[in-house]
Amino acid sequence: MSAAQREDERQPPVEPNFEPLTPLNFLERARRVHADRIAVQDGEVSFTYARWYERAKRLGQFLLDQGVQRGDRVGVLAWNGEMSLLSHYAVPMIGAQLVQMNVRLSPDEIIYIVGHSSMRLLLSSPDLALSGSLDEACRQVIIDADLDAAVAATEPLADPVRVSDELSAISINYTSGTTGRPKGVVYHHRGAYLNALAMALDHGLDSSSTYLWTLPMFHCNGWCFPWATIAVGARNIAIPKVDPAVVWQLLSEGEVTHLCGAPTVLNMLAESPDARPLDQKVRLLTAGAAPTPTIIGRMESLGFEVDHVYGLTETYGPFTVNVESPQVTPDQRLLQRSRQGDANLTAGHVDVWDPEGRPVPADGATLGEIVMRGNVVMTEYLHDTEATEKAFRDGWFHSGDLGVKYPNGQVELRDRLKDLVISGGENISTVEVERALASHPDVLEAAVVARRDDHWGEVPVAFVSLREGSKATGDDLIEHCREHLARFKCPRDVIFQELPKSSTGKILKTQLRNVANATPTSSS
C-alpha cells in the first residue's frame, strides 16, 4: 500500500471521553485480559486469545496484500470454521465490510450478490468455489491449507483501523430472497456491539462458557455470537455443519455450555439415536421459526435450558427474548415459553400494529404486524432506498410478520404476512395449526399452507412428516386438531411427506403451496 493511500486512511485523533462502539474493541481487549484462554477450537487446531488476535491481524494484512482497501466488501462463502469466525474481526480491522453468504445459494444468486455488493474478494470453501463465472473485479481465494500457510506467513497488520464512526457499516447480510432478489441488509458497528452485549447478558455467557457452532455463521452473522463470545472471553468450538452424532459426542464430553439453532435443528438433535439426557447445564437458543411448545418441552426433558429469541436478518438476528415470569403456573409454562417475548436488553422496542399503524390491543388475540425500532435495527437495504423507506414507514421497522401482543408486552408470532390463510374472511394462523399438529405424539414436523378454494377463498392444508414407525392417518390428525382448534382452522387435507427446507431450517412454504394446489383433496 502506498504512502498516499496510508495518508488518506490516517487515524482520527483520540478523545478522552468518547470512543465509537465497535466489536473490534472486544478482541483488542480479550487478547490481553483473556490472553491464555482458548478463543477458538476447530478440529485439532486451537488458538489462545493472544495468538488469535495476531492471526486476525495476519489475515487483515493478507487481505490488504490482495488489494482490499478501506470501504471494500469481502465475501465469505464457507462452512462454519475458524477462518469464517476470524473474518468477523480481520475484515473490519482493515475498514472493510464482511459479506457472509448462505452456502446453499445457487451460483446465479452468488454472482448477483457479488455484483450487487461490488465485492472485492471472496473467501470460499474448496467445495463451494465458483468456477470462472465471477465478476472480474472480484478475486477468489480458497479457504484451505494454502491459505492457512499464507496467512501464517504474513506479518501482522501494524496498524488496525480505528473506527471513527460507530454508525459505519461492519457487515452486509443478504436476505433469503424468497419474495424476489435477495436484499443486502447493512449492519453497523454500534448495533453489532450492542446486540453482542445483549446476547452475552441475556444468555449468561462468560469466560467459563464454551459455545458450539451449530448455527451457520452466515445466518445474520451467527446471531452476533462471533462478537458476543469474544467479548466475554468464551471458547468457540467450530464444526462445519450440524451432524447430530458429532454434536451429541461434543455434548457428552461435558464442555459445551451454549449453542444456537432453528427449531428444525432442535428436532434433528432430539430425534438422533445418540440423544441422551445431559449431565451438565447447556443453554440452547432457538429462533428462525416459531418453536412449538412440544419441541421446547422435548429439549427441556433432555436437560437443555431453552432460551427462546426472535428476530430477522434486518434486526441483527435476535431482537426479542422470552424471559420467564416467576409467577407462571406449570400448565401455562410451555405455552408462555413459546411466545417470542419482549425486546432484549439493548435492542429497543417491539410492538404489534394494525394496518393503520395503531398498536393492537394487548389481548393476546388481535392480529397485527410486528414492528420494531432501536439500535439493533439495520441501517438500510443496500442500494434500495425504496425498500428501505417502505420498511421504515412511520418511524418503525415493519417486519412482515404477523403476531399478537399480550398484556405484559410480550409478542407472539402467528405467521408471515404472506403465509396467513384467509378462509371465508377469517384469518387462520398457520403457526397455531402447526402447533396443534405438533402436539400429536406421532408428528415429527408439520407445515400448514393455503390451498385456493372456490367457496372459501382459501383452506388450510397440512404437510406432515411422522415419527419413524408411527401410523397416524390424515383423519386422525384432523380429529386431533378439532380437539384443540375451532373447526374452520383445522386442515382440510393432510399430505404426508418430508418437508423441504432452506439451509437455515426454514420450511419452504412456497414449494408446499404449489404442491397443495396441484393435489386434489384426499380426506374430509
Cβ at position 73, least distance to a copy of itself in Å: 20
Q: Based on the number of CB atoms within 10 Å of its own CB, is 312 exposed (0-12), middle (13-18) or buried (19 or more)?
A: buried
- Is residue 341 within 8 A of residue 309, CB to CB? The reply is yes
Q: What is the DSSP string of 90-151?
A: HHHHTT-EEEE--TT--HHHHHHHHHHTTEEEEEE-GGG---S-S-TT-EEEE-SHHHHHHH
Q: Is 378 in the site for a copy of itself (CB under 8 A)?
A: yes
Q: Which residues contact 388 (CB under 8 A, 6 or more apart)?
A: 380, 381
Q: Is 327 in the site for a copy of itself (CB under 8 A)?
A: yes
Cβ at position 369, least distance to a copy of itself in Å: 14
Cβ at position 426, least distance to a copy of itself in Å: 30
Would you say 241 or 383 has its CB closer to a copy of itself? Answer: 383
Would you say 151 or 391 has its CB closer to a copy of itself? Answer: 391
Site for a copy of itself (CB under 8 A): which residue of 23, 222, 233, 460? 233
Q: Which stretch binds a copy of itself (CB under 8 A): 245-253, 342-350, 476-484, 492-500?
A: 342-350
- Which strand (E) or helix (H) includes residue 445? strand 443-453
Amino acid at 88: H
Cβ at position 84, least distance to a copy of itself in Å: 24
Q: Is 15 in the site for a copy of itself (CB under 8 A)?
A: yes
Would you say 66 or 408 has its CB closer to a copy of itself? Answer: 408
Site for a copy of itself (CB under 8 A): which residue of 111, 275, 345, 420? 345
Which residue's entry shows cell 480481520?
A: 90
Would you say 47 or 456 has its CB closer to a copy of itself? Answer: 47
CA 69 to each of CA 8, 138, 453: distance values in angstroms, whole numbers, following the listed order = 11, 13, 56
Q: Which of residues 26-85 bind a copy of itself (CB under 8 A)?
A: 26, 29, 32-37
Site for a copy of itself (CB under 8 A): which residue of 4, 7, 10, 13? 13
- Is residue 76 within 8 A of residue 102, CB to CB? The reply is no
Dig out the grid coordinates for 137 from the structure. 473485479
Rounded CA-CA distance 28/22 in Å is 11
Q: Based on the number of CB atoms within 10 Å of its own CB, is 137 exposed (0-12), middle (13-18) or buried (19 or more)?
A: exposed
- Is residue 319 within 8 A of residue 347, CB to CB? The reply is yes
Which residue's entry shows cell 495518508?
A: 7
- Is residue 443 within 8 A of residue 477, CB to CB? The reply is yes
Q: Which stretch binds a copy of itself (CB under 8 A): 143-151, 389-397, 446-454, 456-464?
A: 389-397
Site for a copy of itself (CB under 8 A): which residue of 11, 301, 325, 514? 325
Which of 122, 160, 143, 152 is CA-nearest to residue 27? Answer: 160
User: What is the per-residue binding string for a copy of itself in 353-372, x denoting contact by CB under 8 A?
Assistant: -------------------x
Site for a copy of itself (CB under 8 A): which residue of 85, 123, 231, 485? 231
Would you say 82 or 380 has its CB closer to a copy of itself? Answer: 380
Rounded CA-CA distance 510/516 in Å is 10
Cβ at position 324, least distance to a copy of itself in Å: 9
Would you say 12 or 424 has its CB closer to a copy of itself? Answer: 12
Query: Which H, E and C letters describe 412-427, residue by residue?
Result: EEEEEHHHCEEECCEE
Which of 448, 439, 427, 521 is CA-nearest to residue 491? Answer: 448
Would you say 130 or 362 has its CB closer to a copy of itself? Answer: 362
How many chain residues are in contact with a copy of itself, going by CB under 8 A?
51
Rounded CA-CA distance 93/159 in Å is 9
Q: Which residues contact 220 (CB under 8 A, 6 or more apart)?
A: 173, 311, 313, 316, 317
Cβ at position 119, least distance to a copy of itself in Å: 24
3-state secondary structure (DSSP) of residue 375: coil
User: What is the per-residue binding string for a copy of itself in 260-299, x denoting contact by CB under 8 A?
Assistant: ----------------------------------------
Q: Is 19 in the site for a copy of itself (CB under 8 A)?
A: yes
Cβ at position 177, least distance to a copy of itself in Å: 22
Amino acid at 518: A
Would you say 20 or 291 has its CB closer to a copy of itself? Answer: 20
Site for a copy of itself (CB under 8 A): which residue of 185, 232, 251, 269? 232
Site for a copy of itself (CB under 8 A): which residue of 53, 213, 218, 396? 396
Rounded CA-CA distance 287/340 in Å is 9
Q: Which stretch binds a copy of itself (CB under 8 A): 88-96, 128-136, 193-201, 459-467?
A: 193-201
Site for a copy of itself (CB under 8 A): which residue of 46, 104, 139, 204? 204
The one-character DSSP state at 159 is S
Q: Is 375 in the site for a copy of itself (CB under 8 A)?
A: yes
Q: Is 397 in the site for a copy of itself (CB under 8 A)?
A: yes
Amino acid at 390: K
Q: Is 311 in the site for a copy of itself (CB under 8 A)?
A: no
Q: Summarize as ranges the residues that interact with a copy of itself (CB under 8 A).
A: 13-19, 21, 26, 29, 32-37, 167, 191, 197, 200-201, 204, 206-207, 231-233, 323, 325-327, 341-343, 345-346, 348, 372-375, 377-379, 391-392, 395-397, 408-409
